[in-house]
Structure formats: structure tokens, C-alpha cells
Structure 1
Amino acid sequence: MVQPLLLELLRDDLSHHVASALINVDGQLRAFPIFKTAVHGLKITKYVYLDNTTQGQIQSASLINGEGNTLVHKPVSITKTETGLLIAFEFELQLKVEVGM
């Protein structure tokens, strides 16, 4: 039987691979740091905050690792004005184990 510790280790490993975000604003990719990470049980939420200096049409958001590889890509269509915007990426770890004889 899978122990809770294994799931927690996998959750934390997943979380540590995310280094930053790339946001497509008006056709230009811009790098943003991870604003906040929330962990609740086996659920991880990575937040990216775009402050009032970023304005335009948000076309996509991606999470990348330390080597610049895209881990998650989220197409969006948001008109960003002078107010802040928080983009959330939510992951929930689920594990299915089958034992065959």
C-alpha cells in the first residue's frame, strides 16, 4: 500500500520543478516570478501576479523549470488593464497503484 509520505514527496518534487512563469502579453513573452505557492494536502497552487505596470492582451501563461522548459501551458484570453491580475495554476496529485500477480 502506498504510504502518505510517498505522495507528499511526489507533491513537493513537482512543486520544486516550477521556477517561474512566461506570460504572453500582446504577442511578447515576458518572464514573471512565482508570486506564491499554496499547499493543501496533495493539492498545489502556483500563483503568478501581474501588477499594474503590465497591461495588454494576455494570450497564454506557462510555468517553466530552471532550464527554461515549459512544464504547463495555459491558453487564455484576458484583457489586462491597470489593475493587478493573479493567475493560478492548480495541481492535485492522484496516484493509482495496480499490483498484478
Structure 2
Amino acid sequence: MIKPDGLNLIYNSITSNLLKGQALIDGQYKDIEIQKTELTSNSVKVFLYLDESFVGQITNYRLITIAGKVFLERSENIAKNNTKGLLVLFEIVLQEG
């Protein structure tokens, strides 16, 4: 079992190395601020929020590290308009092997 100190170590390592999120909208990556991060008993969650100013066909999301590298990436296919925001969740499940 991963102990609380171990969970905090993993959480801090991940979150301190994340810079931003990005969404591929109509073929161009747009930067998105990380809205919040959360540690649960078995996962690290990273939330991105695309407000009403992000409009178009979204086909990909990714998290970018402070070194400018892609940490996580996820495909999507959603048409977003300017009437609502969109909350995106990346969840890193922690499991002892």
C-alpha cells in the first residue's frame, strides 16, 4: 500500500513539473491554464477549464511540463461553442504492483 507520504511525494513531483494544458482546436493548439489539481487516496487529478472563449472542433488535449514536453495526451472529438465552458479531467491512477 502506498502510504500518505508516498502519495504526497508523487503528487508534488507531478504537479510541480506541470506548466499548462493545451487543446487542439480547429487544428491549432491553444494554451489552457491548469484550473486545479487534486490528490485522492489513489489518484492525481488535473483539471483544465476551457471557458466560453474557446470555440471550435476539439480533437486533442495534452498536459505540458515545465521542460516543454508532453506529459499526458488524450484524443477527443467534440464541437465546442461559446455558450458554455468545458471542464477536462486528466486522472493518473496510482496502483502498487
> Normalized against structure 2, the TM-score is what?
0.87
Preserved CA contact (<8 Å) 1:11 1:42: no
- Cα 1:30–1:2 shift into 2, 3 Å: closer
Shift of 1:41: 1.9
Preserved CA contact (<8 Å) 1:37 1:44: yes
The aligned residue for residue 6 of structure 2 is 6
Q: Please give the per-residue CA displacement for 1:20-76, whole angstroms capped at 9, x wherever unaligned.
A: 111100000111110111221231111111111111000100001012100011010
| Counterpart-to-counterpart distance in 1, 2:9 and 2:23 | 29
Shift of 1:3: 4.5
The aligned residue for residue 73 of structure 2 is 73
> Normalized against structure 1, the TM-score is what?
0.84
Aligned residues: 96
Percent identical pairs in the alignment equals 29
- Cα 1:52–1:27 shift into 2, 3 Å: same
Structure 1 unmatched runs, 5+: 97-101
The aligned residue for residue 46 of structure 2 is 46
Runs of 4+ in 1 over 3 A off after TM superposition: 1-4
The aligned residue for residue 24 of structure 2 is 24
CA RMSD of aligned residues (A): 1.7
Q: Which has the higher strand share?
A: 2
For the pair shown, the structure with the greater C-alpha radius of gyration is: 1
